[in-house]
Structure 1
Amino acid sequence: MFEDKPDEAVYTGILGEIVKILEPSEEADPIGILASLISLTSAMVHPDIRIPISRSERHPVTAWTMLVGLTSRGRKGSATNAALKTGRKVSRTFVENNVLRSLASGEGLIEAIADLSPKEIREMEEAGQAIPEQGGQSRLLYLSEYGKIMGKSVGPGATLGTTLREAWDGETLAVPTRNNPIKATRPHLSAVAHVTPGEFSDRLNLTELAGGSYNRWMFFYVQQTKVLADDVPIDEAKYAALCAKLRNNLADVGMKAQTVVEAQKAACADDENDDGEADFFLIERTPEAKELWRDICATLEQQKAMSPILDSFTGRQRPHIMRTAATYAIADGRTEINEVDLAAAYELFEYSLKSIRYVIGEDEDIPEGGYSANAKLNEDAKNVAAALKQRAANLKDGLTRTEVRAICGGNKVSATYIDEVLNVLGDNISRGQKPGAGRSAVLYSWTGPLVREMTEEGV
């Protein structure tokens, strides 16, 4: 049973206030509402705004959130519907025209957000019509059945997984092999997806995991929080006022970004060595936020050593946190990230970390006296299992007996002890021959589940 709750710091600013108003009237998990609302709000952010992660990295202000929960009892749909209802109050036009609810292929996604084709531009010019600036198409991907997307992302000719990874990066997407090539210049895509733990476990593909498909998402385990027999009224006036304020803040920040970018482009119009930096309006951090960010980065580096398999899901911690912090700031009408935004984004990522640890089973410890009364034996078995899982996730060969022994203490432990460690892992490992090696080179590989196996009844 997942019992963790996010720090209250995540419910900050306008977005947090909206969730607090909606929470009494919803059976959905408030963290699911917040995650969905962050994705939707980030999709409404002006596409020319960027966040400097490092000197060479400029990230779009987009958020990709994955709600993981049991069918019906997870209330995933209720959480996202609450966010979309808010979105309609902020901009009905955006929600009705800019939310994509299904994806069949990578090519289909690119077609949905494509620039005008040369033929279309030529026809508009001949008709005397003004040609709009190309690129920067803003969309929210609402993938309510992500399990099906996982199935479409693998196999011969599958392009969806690659296209989604590039879309998260904010890169220009293209299908150059067609007779009539299509291109989507620097699209601005946020996403919210739903999946059950069982679907995720059954359809998790090692190639996609190793390729980085899942570390582009922040995962949130969600559960029904209450049962409501009747409608519960909310403060409609305050709710409407917050939605109006969010609308105005997004418009004000967007207008400022557009004005600055237009001036920067005009100044660089004749510069042949322009590096493209003028195309963006950069969201910076306050001095206090910079100091906090240094502390957070140090903590994130320490977390990398927690679990090799976990890194396959959380390898993009810094961009996730900064994108979320920028969304908090812009929603409040600011063009600088302050320490409150950053603290909220960090706590949200920490909850995402706890969620994915629960989903993949990394939160489980071998209980004392469980597999063995020997605590060291249990700990070594856990470490060997983690190493084998990581190699499996990265599509690499397993571990030799020498490598297993090195994990357990090297020459300080006996061959009998290594046998006991391997016996603890039981049917989760297989024994084979290392390719190209001699008869004695035995290779142990992970054959158990990489993620926690769940049913509709739970674990």
Structure 2
Amino acid sequence: MRRIGDAVHRPQATPALDDADDGGEVAMVAHRNAPEADPACLHGLIGDVARAGSEGTETNAVAIAANFMAYLSCAVGRSAYLPVGNTRHHARLFCLHVGRSGRGRKGDAVSLVVRIDQALREMGQAFAPQIHRGGLSSREGLVALMHDGYRQGRQDVPAIEDKRLWVVESEFANVLHQGRRDGNTLSAALRDCWDGVDLKPATKSNRLYASQPHVCLSGAISPSELTGLMSTRELTNGFANRFLMIWAERTRILPFPKETPQAMVDRLARRTREVLAFVRADQHGEHEHLRMELSSQAQWRYAQLYRGELNDDLGDGVVGALLERRAPMLLRLAMLMALADMQTRIDALHVDAAMAWIRHATASVRYVFVSAAEEAMLAQVRILAHRGQSF
């Protein structure tokens, strides 16, 4: 019996004519072996945003949901925390959307989230986080976006009080390229951001620093770029496994996609604002005033998963290295699901929704780094066999 989120085997992708009379919609059959997310991923407000953005468009609802989760996890800030031992976790996510160029609809998956942000700003600028879409190149550049103030000549540059920063890397390959440059510490800075620790100066000559950063990231990349650029260093230093990697491509071919009605965008923005008001996200100086806890049923469910699936031995290869942080990732996702429901108690349904994402990420990583690699090898074997027959 297939588990939720496991890869499913299908025939090679071919367009199939749809019966809809919407001007030529063509439904897409999933690429062979491509993983599909369980509907449980689309919980509450997150699911409503995803469905609104995918209706009448080619964009995959799962990709929209992942980007909205990254945005929402940024917007709630460090107000809510979940103590696990001596570590305080915040709902802070790095999401990486993997899909083939032209088919992943990676840019479209961010568009509705940006529109919701714009509507949110019109309701109250203080609730919306900073957004950076220009591409990251260095640790210093990242720190400059949320610095604690510095002196320039005789002038004091005031600190940026709001440390919430949503980074949108539509070309995530750029970040991996930067990590290959000698002396570049961007990946180390992003690791610190995921952990929530202060970003201190990397050199004595540069005194820029940022305390208590709250950086969340939405990245997009093609599978060939990801497998080609991901180096051993990113795998061994814990950079790559801080990302929730999900595979998502368009579900249909639609020549004339529909725009999400502004009234719907405004409704989703108002619901988002209610969540942010619940956590007092507009009070930028307040941190960790909402302590979250797991209900007794959620504790039992998480303990089951922790003793089993979350700690399954995935081997010493790429897949195992990329999925080492499944347990803390699940807790952060469950926190966000609960906060989106405007409650500080994490229930079993939040744990189950979060686990659906972990299973989809697991299937996605296996698909990109194992199934795709095997397909490429088989293709090479077929080419060599064909050459051998031609002699």
For the aligned pair, the TM-score class normalised by the smaller chain equals: 0.7 to 0.9
Cα distance, 1:137 vs structure 2: 0.3
Cα gap change, 1:137 to 1:257, in 2 (>3 Å): closer
Aligned residues of 1:329 and 1:337 also touching (Cα < 8 A): yes
Aligned residues of 1:260 and 1:281 also touching (Cα < 8 A): no
Question: Could you say which residue in structure 2 is the equivalent of 1:316?
Answer: 325
Aligned residues of 2:199 and 2:209 also touching (Cα < 8 A): yes
For the residue of structure 2 that corresponds to 1:140, the secondary structure is: strand
Cα gap change, 1:57 to 1:27, in 2 (>3 Å): same
For the residue of structure 2 that corresponds to 1:66, the secondary structure is: strand
Cα distance, 1:300 vs structure 2: 3.2
Q: What letter is aligned with 1:283? A: M
Q: What letter is aligned with 2:45? A: I
Question: Could you say which residue in structure 1 is the equivalent of 2:47?
Answer: 16
In 2: Cα distance, 1:161 partner to 1:207 partner: 10
Q: What letter is aligned with 1:3? A: A
- Asked if 1:211 is matched to 2:237, the reply is yes
Per chain length, whose mean CA-contact separation is higher, i.e. which structure has more relative contact order (CA < 8 Å, sep 6+)? 2
Aligned residues of 2:35 and 2:247 also touching (Cα < 8 A): no
- Identify which of 339, 342, 364 aligns with 1:333: 342
In 2: Cα distance, 1:72 partner to 1:287 partner: 45
Aligned residues of 2:37 and 2:62 also touching (Cα < 8 A): yes
Cα distance, 1:179 vs structure 2: 3.4
Aligned residues of 2:276 and 2:282 also touching (Cα < 8 A): no
Cα distance, 1:180 vs structure 2: 4.9
Cα gap change, 1:334 to 1:189, in 2 (>3 Å): same
Question: Could you say which residue in structure 2 is the equivalent of 1:246?
Answer: 272
Cα distance, 1:282 vs structure 2: 2.3
For the residue of structure 2 that corresponds to 1:41, the secondary structure is: helix
- Asked if 1:99 is matched to 2:132, the reply is yes
Which has the larger share of helix? 1
Aligned residues of 2:46 and 2:65 also touching (Cα < 8 A): yes
Cα distance, 1:232 vs structure 2: 3.1
- Asked if 1:50 is matched to 2:59, the reply is no
- Identify which of 363, 368, 374 aligns with 1:354: 363
In 1: Cα distance, 2:48 partner to 2:222 partner: 28
Q: What letter is aligned with 1:35? A: A
In 2: Cα distance, 1:144 partner to 1:259 partner: 30
In 1: Cα distance, 2:256 partner to 2:196 partner: 43
In 2: Cα distance, 1:256 partner to 1:334 partner: 18
Cα gap change, 1:280 to 1:184, in 2 (>3 Å): farther
TM-score (norm. length: structure 1): 0.68
In 2: Cα distance, 1:301 partner to 1:31 partner: 22
Cα gap change, 1:68 to 1:180, in 2 (>3 Å): closer
Question: Could you say which residue in structure 1 is the equivalent of 2:292?
Answer: 283
Cα distance, 1:87 vs structure 2: 2.5
Aligned positions of 1:426-437 closer than 5 A:
none
Identity of aligned residues (%): 22
Q: What letter is aligned with 2:305? A: I
- Asked if 1:82 is matched to 2:115, the reply is no
Cα gap change, 1:180 to 1:161, in 2 (>3 Å): closer
Question: Could you say which residue in structure 1 is the equivalent of 2:37?
Answer: 6
Aligned residues of 2:120 and 2:128 also touching (Cα < 8 A): no
- Identify which of 138, 141, 158 aligns with 2:167: 141
Aligned residues of 1:105 and 1:158 also touching (Cα < 8 A): yes
Question: Could you say which residue in structure 2 is the equivalent of 1:298?
Answer: 307
Aligned residues of 1:62 and 1:188 also touching (Cα < 8 A): yes
Cα gap change, 1:260 to 1:284, in 2 (>3 Å): farther
Question: Could you say which residue in structure 2 is the equivalent of 1:374?
Answer: none
Cα distance, 1:122 vs structure 2: 8.5
Cα gap change, 1:334 to 1:210, in 2 (>3 Å): same
Aligned residues of 2:246 and 2:365 also touching (Cα < 8 A): yes
Q: What letter is aligned with 2:237? A: G
In 2: Cα distance, 1:106 partner to 1:160 partner: 5
Cα distance, 1:165 vs structure 2: 0.9
Cα gap change, 1:306 to 1:75, in 2 (>3 Å): same
Cα distance, 1:260 vs structure 2: 8.3
Aligned positions of 1:55-454 closer than 5 A:
55-91=85-121, 93=125, 97-117=130-150, 123=156, 137-175=163-201, 177-232=203-258, 237-254=263-280, 281-305=290-314, 308-361=317-370
Cα distance, 1:310 vs structure 2: 1.6
Q: What letter is aligned with 2:79? A: D
Aligned residues of 2:91 and 2:335 also touching (Cα < 8 A): yes
TM-score (norm. length: structure 2): 0.79
Cα distance, 1:22 vs structure 2: 2.3
Which stretch of structure 1 is more off in the superposition, 21-30 or 90-99?
A: 90-99
Aligned CA RMSD, in angstroms, stands at 3.1
1:348-369 CA distance string (max 9 Å, x none)? 1110110010010168889xxx
Cα distance, 1:98 vs structure 2: 2.8
Q: What letter is aligned with 2:138? A: S
* Number of equivalenced pairs: 344
Structure 2: runs of 5 or more not aligned: 1-31, 382-391
Cα distance, 1:299 vs structure 2: 2.3
1:285-316 CA distance string (max 9 Å, x none)? 12221111111212235423456432210111
- Asked if 1:28 is matched to 2:59, the reply is yes
1:80-103 CA distance string (max 9 Å, x none)? 122222222233547684334311
In 2: Cα distance, 1:114 partner to 1:280 partner: 23
In 2: Cα distance, 1:156 partner to 1:233 partner: 44
Cα distance, 1:25 vs structure 2: 2.4
Q: What letter is aligned with 1:282? A: R
